[in-house]
Amino acid sequence: MAHILGGIATSHIPAIGVAMDKGLEQAPYWKGFFDAYPPVRQWLYAQQPDIAVIFYNDHGLEFFHDRKPTFAIGAADKYENADEGWGIAEIPPVTGETQLSWHIINELIDNDFDITVCQEMKVDHGLTVPLTLMWPGHQYGHIKVIPIAINCERHPMPKPSRCYDLGKAIGEAIRSFSGDQNVVVFGTGGLSHQLDGQRAGFINKPFDLYCMEKIVDEPEVLTKLSNYDLVEKGGSQGVELNMWLAMRGTLQGASQLTELHRSYHLPISNTGAGLQLLATEEAVTN
């Protein structure tokens, strides 16, 4: 069976990618944010995962409103990044994977998650910024990525409880796969932020810290929130917490979780930026 080593939740704000391109990691604005990442990178280097399952939301690169899936998964050998229109540099292609992808797809459909399947899809900053953060210098080619996109843009969007259950089903699928690959799961985006409306700039630090506390041992508390609650408490883009919940769902079958990292930095662009690492008992301990 394949093994889930742990889950990582991280911001995916495009400005992070721009800052890395410009070498600004130690500039005063950015230092506090980037200084949180080395311990998580070191854990990844020690674990040597084969596959990364990445929950993200597409921001209008691959999916427009003509056909916008609620949940979508990639099953391709390679994923291209492309021009998003406002200046983030494109990154080299992301390596894909198909065998575990198809296994997950079969298991999801069997478990009543009728997900959209993409044999070709462009991946945007929601996925590429976390990859670049974890493997700076675009050194991510060895990691086989399975992208899973969740609609966080247009209501109606999947409920927090549903995203968590999707994660649970994916976790069970990974653990039932016949291979012996080591898998790490990413929940990306968040935390609280609002880009649009007179309420633009809204950030809710107490709520963000509450979510990072509850997601460790009591994720069910967060699944009782509605998307309306998330908009109200976390801003219109605060619904990106749903990707964190999907990640957390994949770990639910693990008998013991260890929180190895938690940090929060505000503001990064218009957001409260969180970073969190939860390891399972499958992870190599140093």
Partner 1 sequence: MNHSLQIPGNILFDGPMATKGYPLNKMCFSFNQAESRAEFLADEEAYYEKFNLSEAQRQVMRDRDVIAMLETGGSIYYLAKFAGILGLNVQDVGGLQTGMTTEEFKAFLVKQGEV
List the catalytic residues.
Answer: 125, 193
Which region, judged by CB under 8 A, interacts with partner 1, from 81-89, 97-105, 212-220, 276-284?
81-89
Helix segments in the chain, DSSP class H = 14-21, 28-34, 38-47, 99-110, 125-134, 160-175, 205-217, 219-223, 227-234, 241-250
Residue 82 binds partner 1, judged by CB under 8 A: yes
Structure tokens at 222: 């967060």
Give me the least distance between CB of 204 and partner 1, in Å please: 8
72 binds partner 1 (CB under 8 A): no
CA 197 to chain centre: 25
Cα 54 to Cα 127: distance, rounded to the nearest angstrom: 7
Q: Applying CB under 8 A, which of residues 16, 143, 203, 245 lies at the interface with partner 1? A: 203
Amino acid making up residue 245: L
Nearest-approach distance from CB 158 to partner 1, in angstroms: 11
For partner 1, which stretch binds (CB under 8 A), given 1-9, 40-48, 191-199, 248-256? 191-199
Q: Which of 160, 41, 44, 55 is nearest to 104 (CA)?
A: 55
- The interface region with partner 1, picked from 36-44, 141-149, 192-200, 216-224 by CB under 8 A, is 192-200
Q: Are 274 and 11 in contact (CB under 8 A)?
A: yes
Q: Which stretch binds partner 1 (CB under 8 A): 1-9, 64-72, 93-101, 139-147?
A: 64-72
**Using the 8-state DSSP alphabet, how is residue 2 labeled?**
-
Contact 146, 131 (CB under 8 A): no
Q: Which one of 41, 201, 217, 220 is in contact with partner 1 (CB under 8 A)?
A: 201
Of 80-88, 95-103, 142-150, 247-255, which part binds partner 1 (CB under 8 A)? 80-88
**Residues 261, 245: Cα–Cα separation, whole Å:** 17
CB nearer to partner 1: pick between 88 and 278 = 88
For position 161 contacting partner 1 by CB under 8 A, the verdict is no
Q: Does 224 bind partner 1 (CB under 8 A)?
A: no
Whether the Cβ atoms of residue 48 and residue 224 lie closer than 8 Å to each other = no
- Both tokens assigned to 209: 């810290």
The pattern of x and - marking residues 13 through 32 that bind partner 1 according to CB under 8 A reads --x-----------------
Q: Which is nearer to partner 1, 169 or 268 (CB)?
A: 268
Residue from 24, 195, 216, 260 in contact with partner 1 (CB under 8 A): 195
Torsion of CA 174, 169, 81, 76, to 10 degrees: 60
Q: Given CA atoms 255, 190, 229, 152 in this order, what sign does their dihedral have?
A: negative
Residue nearer to partner 1 on the CB measure, 67 or 256? 67
In the complex, minimum distance from the CB of residue 269 to partner 1, in angstroms, rounded to a whole number: 6
Shortest reach from residue 194's CB to partner 1, in Å? 7
Size of the site for partner 1 (CB under 8 A): 42
Among 198, 256, 285, 286, binds partner 1 (CB under 8 A): 198
- φ, ψ for residue 107 (rounded to 5)? -65, -40
Nearer to partner 1 by Cβ, of 57 and 182: the residue is 57
Is residue 126 within 8 Å of 151, Cβ to Cβ? no
